[in-house]
Structures are given as structure tokens and as C-alpha cells.
Amino acid sequence: MPDRKSSSHAGRGLTAFLLSAPALLGLLLFVLLPFLLAAALSLTNLRLGSPLPLEWMGLEQYRRILHDPTFRHALLNNLLFVVTVVPVQTVLALALAVLLNQRLGAIAWFRVLFFMPVVFPLSLVAVIWVLIFAPGPDGPMNALLELISFGAWTPRDFLHDEQLALSAIMLTSIWQGTGFQMVVILAGLQAISAELNEAATIDGAGCWQRFWFVTLPQLRNTLIFVVLVTTILAFRLFDQVQIMTQGGPHDATTTVMFEAVQTAFSRQQIGRGAAMTVVMFLVVLLLSLLQRRIARQQREVS
């Protein structure tokens, strides 16, 4: 009898492991293995269809890309994207979330409205905004700017203008992404207890005071999360660039991911392309660790 029991116990353990096996195998083959391979390939000169022998290069690829003006420009563009899009989008999403955090019938429709672009595939969004940024006075963006500047605006060709192209891509991304952040922040708002707000009101706090001293501190971890996710997305920026500008004009809109794809696929330099994606991953990793650290500190304080 004890024998049978222990064998059925072992059987359960085996079944339990087998249940997770397909998922583990998938993650191993399609995430972990390529990830380790990315690190390994970045230390070689691997090229597809090249007659040159495979060579171990150590950190040479990293030295080269960090001295490559185009790649540096790409990194800079990603950084510019982060320092502009992240604050603008977060503030916008926060404002919308606070305004829409009510239980009125009509308000629910506003939520649907602002969330709608999130379900649009980025490639479709990019195509729509190519037309919005059309050159000439008929282009919607030109027409809008002319209207609100009372005719002072002279039409520009946004996507072929070195000074404006990156901003155009930023605006496109903000339009698509704000709804996502808004919903996450709304969930954070709804987790704040009503008693806290009531207590503050009884203490004589006004609207703004409640926002600064009750809502914002309570939202801290949500906001850190939202900022982190948007920052990571900014470093992965690719679809809009590929469709709207192809990295141009004169590398004005190129990004790390766009350069990696150009290098690895158009120029077949797998080793060098892998090094670029590793740099991107290191940035993402650093930011994630930073977020965890900040969020943990907060928990210890409170």
C-alpha cells in the first residue's frame, strides 16, 4: 500500500512537470537559445553567404558600432524619442485618466474613444499618418497648423524634413500609445480607496491638493511601471520608421532597431546586427532593474 502511494506521488510529479514542458521547451528554443546566440554571434564576424571564414572577434563589433556615426545617431534618436514621448504621453494619459475616472454613462464612451487607437496595428497607423503629414497646404497637419496659427504657418513636407521627421513619428506613436497608458493608470486610480479621498476632503483639501498629495503618491508604482513600459517600447521603435521614413532623411529618424535590421538583413552582417540588438537589450535590462529598485524603495518607505 505505501508502495503504491509513493509511485502515484511520483506519477503526479511527472504529470506536473509534463504540463509545463511544452511551454518551457518553447521558451528555451525560441527565446533563451536565440538570446544566448545573440551574445555569441555578436562576438563574431558572421555574414550570410560570405566566403570569409568565421572569425572570433571579441568585443570588436561593439567597438565598431559605437564608433559608427549612423549607429550613434540611431541611439541618439531613441534617446530623443524617450525624453519627448515618455513625459508627453504619461502626462496626457494621466490627465485623461483623472478626467475619465467617473462612473457616468457618457464617460465610458470617452474611454472607448481614447483607447481605440491601441487596437490599430502600427503599420496601419503609420500609413494613415503618412497622409496626415502630406506635404502642401492640403495635408491635414499643415492645414490644422495653418488654422490655429491664423495663416502664419507655411506648409512643410514633414516626413522629408530633417528637423520635423522625428517629431512626426513621435506624434504618431503618442496617438497610438496614450490609450494603453490611460487604461493602466485608470486601473491604478480605481485601486485608491475612496476613504483616503474623503478623509482629505474632510481635512479641507481642494481638488488640486487631493491630486498632489493623495492621488499622485498612491499612483507612484503605477506611474513608474507606465514610464518603464513606454521607455522600453521607445527603444524597440521600428514599424513606424520602416513605413514612414525608412530612417531618412539623412538618418534623421533612424533607430537602433532599424539599423540592426538594415545591418543584419539588407547587408547580411549577422554578427554586427546581433551586437546592435544586444546593446538595445542591455538598455532595456538596465531600465527594468532601475524600475524594480525604485518601486522596492517606495514599498520600504511606505
Partner 1 sequence: MKRLLTPLTYLCLLLCGLLFISPVGFLLIGSLKPDDLVLVESGGWRALWPTSASLENYRDVFTRVDFTRYLLNSLFINGMILGTGLLVNSIAGYSFARLPWRGRGLLFNLVLAVMIIPLEAIAVPLFYIVSLLGWRDTYLVQILPFIANAFSIYLFYTYFIGLPRELEEAARIDGAGVVRTFIDIIVPNAKPVFASVAILTFLTQWGAFLWPLLVTSSEAVRPLPLAIATFHGLPPLRWGDLFAFGVMMVLPILSVFLLFQRLFVRGVAATGIKG
71-130 residues near partner 1, rule: CB under 8 A: 98-99, 101-102, 104, 110-124, 126-130
Assigned C-alpha cell, 175: 496617438
Considering only residues 187-226, where is the footprint of partner 1 by CB under 8 A? 187-188, 197, 207, 210, 221-222, 224-226
The correct pick among 132, 192, 200, 205 for binding partner 1 (CB under 8 A) is 132
Q: Which stretch binds partner 1 (CB under 8 A): 61-69, 71-79, 80-88, 135-143?
A: 135-143
In this structure, what DSSP letter does residue 215 have?
I
Nearer to partner 1, 142 or 253 (CB): 142
In terms of CB distance, is 48 or 91 closer to partner 1?
48
- Among positions 14-53, residues that touch partner 1 (CB under 8 A) are 14-17, 19-20, 22-27, 30-35, 37-38, 41, 46, 48
Locate all alpha helices (DSSP H) within 116-253, ordered by sequence: 122-132, 140-148, 165-190, 194-202, 207-210, 216-218, 220-235, 239-244
The span from the CA of 244 to the CA of 127, in Å, is 7
Q: How far is the CB of 104 from partner 1 (least distance, A)?
A: 8
Distance in Å, CB of 237 to partner 1, minimum: 9
138 binds partner 1 (CB under 8 A): yes
Out of 59, 137, 216, 250, name the contact with partner 1 by CB under 8 A.
137
Q: How far is the CB of 43 from partner 1 (least distance, A)?
A: 12
The CA dihedral of 260, 264, 267, 272, to the nearest 10 degrees, is: 80
Q: Which of residues 154-193 bind partner 1 (CB under 8 A)?
A: 175, 180, 183-188
- C-alpha dist (Å) from residue 105 to 110, 116, 223: 10, 18, 27
Nearer to partner 1, 2 or 266 (CB): 266
> What proportions of the chain, in percent to the nearest 5, are helix, strand and coil?
75, 0, 25
Distances (CA, A) of 56 to 42, 60, 61, 103, 221: 9, 9, 10, 62, 44
Site for partner 1 in 240-269 (CB under 8 A): 242-243, 257, 260-261, 264-265
Q: Least distance from C-beta 300 to partner 1, angstroms? A: 16
Reading the block at residue 186, the C-alpha cell is 485608470
Instruction: Tally the C-alpha atoms within 13 A of residue 276's C-alpha that lie toward its C-beta.
Output: 28
How many residues bind partner 1, per CB under 8 A? 99
